[in-house]
Amino acid sequence: METGDLSQWTEKVNTGNADSTAVLAFVAGIPPKTGNWVLRQSWNSTSGVAEASGTRVARYPEVASLAKAGTTFYYSWWDFFPAALSYGVGGWYNHWQIASNDASNNGAPIWVLGFSGSGNRMGLTWSPNGLAPANGPHNGETGGRTYTSPIAVPVGQWVFFEVMITPRGDFTGAIKIWMNGQVLFDLSSIKTQFPYVSQGILTWVTNNNYGSGLTPAPFVHYIDDVTITLGRIGYP
C-alpha cells in the first residue's frame, strides 16, 4: 500500500456496505507497521442489502501459478484489530480464504479463516457453503467442518499471521497457520483446491472483511506487509 492506493492488488470485490481502501496510519489513528500506508477494510450492517456485506482483495498471478504447480508456499500479513469481534446465532465472519475454481470455472470458498462467535478466537472452516469437493477435507469426510483455536487474537496491536499452503486437489495437501509465531492450525492429508484441469485461475487467496451480524458495527481492521514466499518469514 506504499503507493497510496491498491494498485499492487489484482482485484477488489465489494458487496453491500463494505470497502477496502489505502489510508495513512496516522489518519486512521493506529501505529504504522512498515511505511505510512495501510489497507483499511471496513464493514457495516448488512441490513437493506441482498447479500451479506463484504470486501475482498486478491493478488492472483503468483498464487495461481504455485497452485497449478502444486508448490508449497507461504502467505503472510500483519493485521491490526482496534476491537474484538463477536456475532450471535446466524452470524458469521470470513477474514481470509483459499478459493478455487472447479472444472467448469465455478468459484468456491474451500478454506475460510474467521473468528468464532465469541472470545476473539479464530476458526478454520472447510466448505462453508457446501461447494468444496464432496469428499474432503480428509479422505472419507463429507460436509462442512470447522476447527477452532483456543488462542485469543490480540487487539490494539499489530498481529502477524503466516500460512503455509501445500496446494493439492487430492489428499496430499496441507495448511499450517501461525499467529505471532504460535500454531493455530496444522492440517495435513487434506484437499486445498479442486483438481487442475484447464482452469485459467485454479486457486486464489483473499484478505477479507466479510460477514453478517457482526459486533461492533461498523467493524474495521487494518493490513500491512502482505507477502507471498517459498519459505517461512517467521515471527520477528
In a domain, 73, yes or no: yes
Note the pLDDT of residue 46.
77
126-159 pLDDT, tens digit each: 999 999 999 999 999 999 999 999 999 999 999 9
197-236 pLDDT, tens digit each: 999 999 999 999 999 999 999 999 999 999 999 999 999 8
Domain range for residue 88?
A: 11-229
pLDDT band at 84 (very low <50, low <70, confident <90, very high): very high
pLDDT at residue 48 tops 80: no
Q: How many CB atoms lie within 10 A of CB 90?
A: 7
3-class DSSP assignment, residue 62: helix
Note the pLDDT of residue 45.
86
State the Cα–Cα distance between residues 194 and 168, nearest whole angstrom.
8
0.85 exceeded by pTM: yes
In a domain, 2, yes or no: no
Whether the ω angle into residue 137 lies within 30 degrees of 0, i.e. cis, is yes
3-class DSSP assignment, residue 64: helix
The helix or strand, by DSSP H or E, that contains position 67, with its residue range, turns out to be: helix 60-69
In a domain, 27, yes or no: yes
3-class DSSP assignment, residue 69: helix
In a domain, 3, yes or no: no
In a domain, 44, yes or no: yes
* CATH code (residue 203): 2.60.120.200
Phi, psi of 64 (to 5 degrees): -60, -45
Closest CA to 156 of 210, 222, 218: 222
In a domain, 4, yes or no: no
In a domain, 23, yes or no: yes
Residue owning grid cell 487442475: 196
Domain count, the chain: 1
In a domain, 132, yes or no: yes
